[in-house]
């Protein structure tokens, strides 16, 4: 019986020792957990200086630098056509001629009359030096000469209308008439487009008006050429805004020597408003508080400090830093919600 009591006492002592050990072990585990919890896993990035490009996107339409319809200025038969569809033509080259026999005859007739009248005028001028009565005849003859000159100018203009010439260098469109056809005043013969420079017309919201100026760079893309970009510059800005859409029409000029761009194309325009070097961080690093912006800056001991920053321009995903940070400083960009000043961080991810 004494042995049984002795064993029971030892069991009770061992149980007490285990219980006391457990009481000491639990607080140490909680301390370790709290210590581990104080280290927050975050992603960080460094402040860097790089180009800050602000741009605006719009849809535009391609238009020729110069574009006209060549029409007949009078009515008559077509006697000559020099239309090579889609081919280049130089300024003043003959595109078409109309039947001009009557006009040529009229010019020849008036040139002969004018020559005879000038001879008579010269004789009267000699007489006028010796005979006073010849002065009135001289005046009448001078009037005849002037009248004939005017008629000759009209006849030459009518003759010139019978020949249609290219008013500028360009590319001919499709032929609309044939040789021998009788055409009337206003009939379209073909089209002429200057394609070596293509203009693009697009609209920009009035919000950007103060940022736009002639000469600014722009790029365009078109579905026909995938991701290939065509570079150009702003050539003109309309003096008026659309009162309904509150947009301003802008024209850009694009070199097009290879003729890949054509009038009427739908073009995706990217207008570069600003391109300069600026100190930037990811927008995700910002912590807005009331009217101010803060970031968590990482120190040498991996502890973070909340720092107020002054921001400038923004582009998608990035913000310019004007003050509060230096180039090369490390800031937290992900995991901000768990942070406060003095917390130790553990970098994860990129």
**CATH number of the domain residue 282 falls in:** 2.40.420.20
How many Å apart are CA 234 and CA 271, to the nearest integer? 9
Average pLDDT per block of 10 residues along the chain, 350 residues long: 59 66 54 53 87 87 92 92 90 92 91 89 75 70 89 91 91 92 92 93 92 92 92 94 93 93 94 85 89 90 90 85 89 86 81
Angle 327-329-330 from CA coordinates, rounded to 5°: 140
Residue at a domain's end among 161, 185, 201:
161
Q: Give the total number of structural domains in the chain.
A: 2
Residue at a domain's end among 143, 161, 179:
161
CA distances from 82 to 173, 266, 333 (A): 12, 32, 69
Query: Are 281 and 342 in the same domain?
Result: yes
Residue 336 covered by a domain: yes
Query: Are 109 and 48 in the same domain?
Result: no
**For position 53, what pLDDT does the model report?**
79
Query: Are 283 and 343 in the same domain?
Result: yes
Residue 201 covered by a domain: no
Residue 125 covered by a domain: yes
Residue 255 covered by a domain: no
**Nearest alpha-carbon partner for 58 in 269, 208, 226, 238:** 269
Q: Which domain holds residue 311?
A: 39-52+277-347
Residue at a domain's end among 112, 136, 161:
161
How many Å apart are CA 244 and CA 257, to the nearest integer? 37
Q: Report the Cα 333 to chain-centroid distance in Å.
A: 34
pTM: 0.62
Residue 94 covered by a domain: no
Residue 66 covered by a domain: no
Residue 289 covered by a domain: yes
**For position 37, what pLDDT does the model report?**
47
Q: What are residue 268's DSSP bridge partners?
A: 59, 221
Question: Can you list the positions of beta strands (E) in 222-260?
Answer: 230-241, 247-255
**Nearest alpha-carbon partner for 58 in 200, 230, 214, 253:** 200
Residue 122 covered by a domain: yes
Q: 242 with 231: CB under 8 angstroms?
A: no
């Amino acid at each position: 019986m004494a042995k049984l009591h002795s064993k029971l006492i030892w069991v009770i002592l061992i149980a007490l020792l285990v219980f006391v050990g457990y009481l000491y072990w639990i607080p140490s585990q909680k301390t370790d957990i709290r210590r581990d919890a104080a280290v927050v896993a975050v992603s960080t990035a460094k402040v860097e200086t790089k180009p800050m490009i602000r741009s605006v996107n719009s849809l535009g339409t391609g238009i020729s630098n110069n574009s006209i319809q060549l029409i007949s200025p009078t009515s008559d038969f077509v006697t000559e056509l020099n239309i090579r569809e889609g081919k280049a033509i130089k300024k003043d080259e003959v595109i078409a001629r109309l039947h001009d026999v009557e006009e040529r005859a009229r010019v020849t007739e008036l040139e002969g009359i004018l020559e005879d009248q000038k001879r008579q005028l010269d004789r009267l001028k000699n007489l006028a030096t010796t005979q006073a009565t010849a002065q009135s005849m001289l005046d009448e003859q001078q009037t005849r000469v002037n009248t004939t000159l005017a008629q000759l100018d009209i006849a030459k203009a009518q003759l010139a209308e019978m020949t249609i010439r290219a008013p500028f260098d360009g590319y001919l469109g499709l032929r609309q008439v044939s040789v021998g056809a009788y055409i009337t005043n206003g009939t379209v013969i073909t089209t002429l487009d200057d394609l070596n420079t293509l203009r693009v017309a697009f609209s920009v919201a009035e919000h950007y008006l103060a940022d736009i100026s002639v000469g600014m760079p722009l790029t365009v893309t078109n579905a026909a050429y995938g991701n290939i970009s065509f570079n150009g510059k702003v050539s003109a800005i309309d003096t008026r805004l659309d009162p309904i859409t509150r947009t301003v029409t802008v024209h850009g000029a694009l070199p097009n020597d290879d003729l890949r761009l054509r009038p009427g194309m739908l073009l995706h325009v990217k207008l570069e408003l600003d391109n300069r070097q600026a100190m930037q961080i990811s927008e995700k690093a910002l912590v807005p508080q009331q009217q101010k912006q803060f970031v968590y800056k990482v120190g040498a001991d991996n502890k973070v400090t909340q720092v107020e920053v002054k921001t400038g321009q923004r582009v998608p995903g990035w913000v310019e830093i004007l003050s509060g940070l230096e180039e090369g400083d490390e800031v937290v960009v992900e995991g901000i919600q768990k942070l406060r000043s003095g917390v130790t961080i553990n970098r994860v991810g990129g």
